[in-house]
Amino acid sequence: MAGSQDGQQVTADPQANNSSGSSAVLGFVSTPTPNAPIVLPTPRTETLTYTVQSGDTLRKIAQSNQVSVSKISALNQIENPDLIEVGQVLLIPPATYDATAPAFKIIPDSELVFSPSNAAFNVVDFVKTQDGYLASYSEEVDGVILTGAEVVERVAVEYSVNPRLLLTVLQYQGRWVTDKNPPEETRIYPMRYYDAYRDGLYNQLGWAANLLNEGYYLWKINAISIWTLSDSSIVKVDPTINPGTAGVLNLMRYLTVGSDWERAISENGIFATYFGFFGYPFDAAFEPVIPENLSQPTLELPFEVGSEWSYTGGPHGGWNTGSAWAAIDFAPPGDALGCFPSEAWVTASAPGQIVYSDHGAIIQDLDGDGIWQTGWSILYMHIDSAERVQAGSYLAEGDRIGHPSCEGGFSTGTHLHIARRYNGEWIAADGDLPLVLGGWTAVGYGVEYNGYLVNGNVTLEAWNGRAPINAIKR
């Protein structure tokens, strides 16, 4: 269960949490399980030309091409990087690196994911004992007043990110967990990410959770070769880190520059803050999160026999854009468009206990222990509050869950969003273990929301509408 031990351990001062991280002291004890180096994407080696478009900035161009602003400025003899013109043709040099990230591992995979290792953690009790600003904070989310602890819990459940890690990054960036009076500039933007559309704890923490997921799941498919920091400097990745550490690095690259980045990802940064709160993270490692030769239990289509629905969304993010493409979408019968009340029923794809029912989301635990972070679980999303099944109910396959709607998350039309998790990790619908519902296998081709359902010689194409090409019936 715990990670293998055979080297050096790090100890930290649990009281030293502040906006720049805690101090840590290295001593001789244990190290995390080694990771075999991954195969990194090949960086671009040729010089390109780019024509400046409306809305472009040199920083934006640099980030999309994996080069620094200074490299583009030097090659094009640009004296003021803030002054470029629409139509200007720029030479874009090959991808280059300003630094190389260390091989230091910050957290195990199971401490990024909302996994068995942290499923029993009590956010409310921990926040109360720390007695900081978070303990007295509240805000309105979707018309409901939530406490600070409830916001953390909700984000952890939705994104399937360890609440202990969310509290750690909140403390590191804003000192909300232990300080009654954190810096004034963090009161609206606690993660210090200053975006007017992402104000408040829920939005800031959700933004952070999405980036933690993005780094984690992209690393697992060998899709990251560099980190672009907020000042557009380029940092080469180390191929021996683990997905959990990659998730933390992916978040911190948006919040740091230069020496701030180096500290944040070292033993004196996020790691030390986590250690100060919860101890050595690798002692809690649950390995592997996804066991070899995992198989999916039998799942049926999530609607009633004889009811014809439409396959409207191919593989896409389980929650927001950062998670694995774990979800597919179905629209209920009828001619109505947009958000409308549907009389159709979403039904349980398998037997299991309903362990969460709120904010349009239903989580069903399939292994019988009542804990969705262990074993297989299913997320049914956009379930209307009217006649929605309550938490604690045990459903047989085919039992009614509720009606599809636009409730919860983001939706432009009434539909069902269904996704799988195993030990809290999002499982890609079109990955090595594809989603199979009633004999229909999800197939994707690298374009989010596009794809097919295949059953023998029959293929249905995902299409945002109702037509014979995407009609499906149990």
Q: Supply the pLDDT for residue 82.
A: 85
Task: Indicate if the pLDDT at residue 14 is higher than 60.
Answer: no
Burial class (CB in 10 A: 0-12, 13-18, 19+), 152: buried
Q: Supply the pLDDT for residue 29.
A: 42
Q: Supply the pLDDT for residue 419.
A: 98
Tell me which of 6 and 389 has the higher pLDDT: 389
Mean pLDDT of 218-230: 89
β-strand partners of 227: 235
CA distance 149 to 153: 6
Residue with tokens 């090659």: 75
The residues, any chain, with a CB within 8 Å of residue 32's CB and separated by 6 or more, are 3, 4, 105, 108, 242, 282, 285
CATH number for the region 308-473 comes to 2.70.70.10
In a 3-state reduction of DSSP, which class is residue 74? helix
pLDDT digits (tens, 9 = 90+) for 304-354: 999 999 999 999 999 999 999 999 999 999 888 899 989 999 999 999 999
CA distance 230 to 59: 9
Q: Supply the pLDDT for residue 7.
A: 38
CA distance 162 to 154: 11
Task: Indicate if the pLDDT at residue 372 is higher than 60.
Answer: yes
CA distance 141 to 202: 7
> Any idea which architecture 48-94 has in CATH?
Roll (3.10)
| Entry pTM | 0.88
Q: Supply the pLDDT for residue 31.
A: 61
Contact 421, 433 (CB under 8 A): no
* Orientation angle between helical segments 243-252 and 200-220, nearest 10 degrees: 130
Contact 323, 426 (CB under 8 A): yes
Confidence of residue 412 (pLDDT cuts 50, 70, 90): confident
Tell me which of 1 and 265 has the higher pLDDT: 265
Domain ranges of the chain: 9-38+103-284, 48-94, 308-473
15-19, 103-107, 358-362, range with the lowest pLDDT = 15-19
Helices (H), 58-115: 58-64, 69-76
Q: What is the DSSP letter of 260?
A: H
89-98, 237-246, 344-353, 421-430, range with the lowest pLDDT = 89-98
Tell me which of 36 and 263 has the higher pLDDT: 263
pLDDT digits (tens, 9 = 90+) for 139-196: 999 999 999 999 999 999 999 999 999 999 999 999 999 999 999 999 999 999 999 9
Structure tokens at 444: 């994707």
Q: What rounded mean pLDDT belongs to the chain?
A: 91
Among residues of the chain, what percentage have pLDDT more than 90? Answer: 77
Q: Supply the pLDDT for residue 37.
A: 80
Tell me which of 209 and 258 has the higher pLDDT: 209
Q: Supply the pLDDT for residue 35.
A: 79
CA distance 128 to 457: 58
Task: Indicate if the pLDDT at residue 458 is higher than 80.
Answer: yes
Q: Supply the pLDDT for residue 67.
A: 82
Distance in angstroms between the alpha carbons of the first and the last residue of the chain: 41
Contact 356, 371 (CB under 8 A): no
pLDDT digits (tens, 9 = 90+) for 59-97: 788 877 778 788 899 999 998 988 899 999 999 998 778
Q: What is the DSSP letter of 95?
A: P
Structure tokens at 232: 């557009």
Task: Indicate if the pLDDT at residue 5 is higher than 70.
Answer: no
Task: Indicate if the pLDDT at residue 2 is higher than 70.
Answer: no
CA distance 73 to 80: 8
Q: Supply the pLDDT for residue 15.
A: 42
CA distance 364 to 355: 6
Domain 308-473 in the same topology as domain 48-94: no
Q: What is the DSSP letter of 28?
A: S
Q: Supply the pLDDT for residue 81.
A: 86
Q: Supply the pLDDT for residue 168.
A: 98
Confidence of residue 21 (pLDDT cuts 50, 70, 90): very low
Structure tokens at 227: 């980190």
Q: Supply the pLDDT for residue 171.
A: 98
pLDDT digits (tens, 9 = 90+) for 28-41: 345 676 777 877 76
